[in-house]
Amino acid sequence: MKLLTANSNQPLARAISDYLEIPLTKCSVRRFADEEIFVEIHENVRGEDVFVLQSTSYPANDHLMELLICIDALRRASAKRITAVLPYFGYARQDRKPGPRTPISAKLVANLITVAGANRVLSVDLHAGQIQGFFDIPTDNLFAAPVMAADISARFGKRDLTVVSPDVGGVVRARSLAKRLNNAPLAIVDKRRERAGESEVMNIIGDVEGRTCILIDDIVDSAGTLCNAAAALKQEGAEEVFAYSTHGVLSGGAAARVNKSELSELVVTDSIFNGEADAQDGKIRRLTIAPLLAEAIRRIADESSVSSLFD
């Protein structure tokens, strides 16, 4: 088995390498003067089972091209099997046509990865489960819920918890986490825009008064939804509000928005590396999913069950 990484999330790749006690394959990912990407692998990979670790996070297009070119280089170097390990699968939010003459970009990216030469895909908390069907190759979708549930239980085990979905579409995700937390009560934030140009009115479905609320989502981008939901929960009498999200995109002024919000803390995983450490005095904290991904990689290489990770 070989592990190879490009430039998107090297800290996570090194953590997975340390867990598996397998060194990262030596390779160089360079750019020509016109920003064309060039990949050179410095080790023999003929007949090897190779795992390419690369999140397609910001800058999404650069990191996607790095992934595709790494896969092509491995295929041409006669690797036996190539697994694209995508802790964060970019373009996942474009999984359907929201209007006429719009693309389904998630399917396009799935096609690109397959045509480049990947034999298998491993990802974490895909934005929508049907994205697995966009790939014509085996696809494993891991869940960060066990990692989050363990953290929540360790920190808030004796509190009265309510798991909250920030929108109706995330109810299944919230219910799954609530089940892991000894069937904690569930609440839903119902967002409605009364008319164009007016701010959203948030109604809380469920009892949150005097309780510690855990907002759960898969992606936090601008953090506007989570911050507004936290304010609405506080107005309904919630004691404290914490948010857990798998993928911390945190674009623009998201970090500043979180620090000024009613959220006590936002917890994200290290599926995305933003290039700099989080502020020590801020409200954002990171959980590592390196053991989860490493164990899945080991099981794929050994041809054993991945789904049993979540039993």
Tens-digit pLDDT profile for residues 18-30: 999 999 999 999 9
Distance CA 57, CA 87 (A): 10
Please, which pLDDT band fits residue 253 given cuts at 50, 70 and 90? confident
Q: Pick the more confident residue, 294 or 252.
A: 294
- Is 77 part of any known ligand binding site? no
How deeply is 198 buried, as exposed, middle or buried, from its count of CB atoms within 10 A (0-12, 13-18, 19+)? exposed
Is the same domain home to 95 and 197?
A: no
- Is 95 part of any known ligand binding site? no
Is the same domain home to 112 and 202?
A: no
Q: Which two tokens stand for residue 123?
A: 């990802």
Q: Pick the more confident residue, 310 or 86.
A: 86
Is the same domain home to 111 and 243?
A: no
From 2, 80, 158, 191, active-site residue? 191
- Is 136 part of any known ligand binding site? no
**How far is the CA of 195 from the CAs of 121, 191, 225, in angstroms?**
42, 12, 18
Is the same domain home to 155 and 278?
A: yes
Dihedral angle at the C-alpha atoms of 143, 9, 274, 135, nearest 10 degrees?
-50
Is the same domain home to 194 and 228?
A: yes
- Is 221 part of any known ligand binding site? yes
Please, which pLDDT band fits residue 98 given cuts at 50, 70 and 90? confident
Is the same domain home to 296 and 243?
A: no
Active site residue 80: no
Q: Are 267 and 286 in contact (CB under 8 A)?
A: yes
- Is 132 part of any known ligand binding site? no
| pLDDT over 60 (residue 197) | no
| pLDDT over 70 (residue 201) | no
- Is 222 part of any known ligand binding site? yes
User: What residue type is 154 in one-letter code?
Assistant: A
Q: Which two tokens stand for residue 192?
A: 């409605």
Is the same domain home to 179 and 259?
A: yes
Is the same domain home to 278 and 298?
A: no
Q: What is the CATH number of the domain that holds 159?
A: 3.40.50.2020
Distance CA 214, CA 240 (A): 9
Which stretch of DSSP H or E encloses residue 243? strand 240-248
Is the same domain home to 31 and 123?
A: yes
**Alpha helices for the chain (secondary structure H):** 10-20, 60-76, 105-116, 145-156, 171-180, 224-235, 254-259, 290-302
- In the numeric block, the tokens 């506080």 are attached to 234
Q: What is the pLDDT of residue 194?
A: 61
Distance CA 4, CA 242 (A): 35
Q: Are 149 and 181 in contact (CB under 8 A)?
A: yes
Compute the mean pLDDT over every residue in the chain, rounded to the nearest whole number: 92
Distance CA 128, CA 118 (A): 21
What's the start-to-end Cα distance of the chain, in Å?
26
- Is 75 part of any known ligand binding site? no
- Is 223 part of any known ligand binding site? yes
Distance CA 22, CA 190 (A): 47
Q: Total domain count for the chain?
A: 2
- Is 197 part of any known ligand binding site? no
| pLDDT over 80 (residue 185) | yes
Share of the chain above pLDDT 70, in %: 96
pTM as predicted? 0.92
Is the same domain home to 92 and 165?
A: no
Is the same domain home to 171 and 56?
A: no
Is the same domain home to 116 and 79?
A: yes
What is the domain range of residue 40?
A: 2-142+291-310
